[in-house]
Amino acid sequence: MKSIKILSLVLGLLVISNCKNASKNTEPTSSIIAFTDEGGKFTPSQKELVREVVLESEKEIRALLPTLPDSINVSLEIVDWDLDLVGGVTGRTETNAPPVVLIQISDKYPGGVTQATQTALKHTIFHEFHHLSRGWAIQDNKYGPGISIAAINEGLAVVFSEDYTGESMEADTPPEATIAEQWVEEIRSLPLNANYQHWMFQHPDGRLAVGYRTGNYLIRKAMAQSGKDVLELSELTPNEIYQLAGY
């Protein structure tokens, strides 16, 4: 009789365990993943890896950002760009209506598409999905123009991704504080029509990603001085974040 009871208990625990696993495996995701083959074809194993990273990342992000759109179109393509400073992967958020995220993965990255995907795709998905949650997209920007605004919104996405993936990219690393403060002054004094490519990507004087790196510095300074985390800051306006950072 005792052996029957023990067997029943074991079977019961197995059923509970299987139910929990089934629930975990069926957590809802809404990303619609498409692969563009113009720059090169993803192999079946690469596609499977990409799907796994995107969908698992989405599950994690939805638990953090409840304002994430219900359905997201993620389009991926292979490129031959030098993306070593960002781990071989880059992306952009096109629009919130409907939500579209475009991801480029470099086959020139050491180890190719697979290594780039393993290195930086999760980091990039966290970054771009934060933009969707905040309303910072190329065609649907609710914050207006200006590098000072771009620095804050990109900085939020950078810090969100770094803090929740544990991954950081060389292109997003702030300079030392003295130089960063000079960059903040420069950015805040720029006209609204300042050249976006120059300040966010490559400046004519040779500096790279000034807006991103300064944004990272600004967000972390605001966090340190206010005691708020990146999720709390993400609910504030750029001006409110500047004030928390002491400007």
Q: What is the pLDDT of residue 39?
A: 80
Give 36-76 pLDDT, tens digit per residue: 988 889 999 999 999 999 999 999 999 999 989 989 999 99
At 32 the three-state DSSP class reads: strand
Query: Please, what sign has the CA dihedral across residues 116, 119, 124, 125?
Result: positive
Closest CA to 104 of 75, 72, 62: 75
H helices present in the chain, as ranges: 2-25, 44-64, 112-116, 122-134, 147-165, 177-188, 196-200, 210-226, 230-233, 238-244
Low-confidence ranges of the chain (pLDDT < 70): 1-29
Q: Which residues of 109-130 are buried (b: 16+ CB within 10 A; e: fewer)?
A: beeebbebbebbbbbbbbbbbb
Closest C-alpha to 80, from 41, 112, 116, 106: 106
* 101-129 residue pLDDT tens: 999 999 999 999 999 999 999 999 999 99
- Cβ atoms of residues 223 and 229 within 8 Å: yes
pLDDT at 29: 66
Q: Decide: 226 and 186 in contact? Cβ < 8 Å.
A: no
Q: Please, which residues bridge with residue 92 across strands?
A: 102
Q: Can you give the residue ranges of every domain in the chain?
A: 31-134, 147-244
Say what the pTM is.
0.87
